[in-house]
Amino acid sequence: MENQTNTPTKSLNDSWLTVKLLAQAEPAFTESSIRNHVFNANDRKSSKGIINGNGLAPYIRRVGSKVLINHGGFLAWIEGQQHDE
């Protein structure tokens, strides 16, 4: 009998990428701009009150000092940034 293993192919959209790898996968965004989006992902306090986060937080994971971003989540977040005027 033939031993067949069905291993699902992992899409790039299901991957957790570092800031550097995400910038390479999505050349429209520089590492600096991605880091800025990560910095602004969560709500934060200022002297004038609460500044709302940008909504990227659910797609970010921190493992030690490493920041990982879900590629598919990042693309979905980008799609959600469209404003109809």
Query: In whole angstroms, what is the distance from residue 60 CA to residue 45 CA?
Result: 20
C-alpha–C-alpha distance, residues 20 and 79, integer Å: 21
pLDDT at 50: 96
Please report the pLDDT score of residue 46 as a whole number: 92
Q: Which residues pair with 16 in a beta bridge?
A: 70
Q: What is the model's pLDDT at position 81?
A: 87
Extents of the domains making up the chain: 13-79
Please state, in angstroms and rounded to a whole number, the distance separating the CA atoms of residues 13 and 59: 12
Per-residue pLDDT, 14: 79
Averaged over successive runs of 10 residues, the pLDDT of the chain (85 residues) comes to 54 84 96 97 95 96 96 94 69
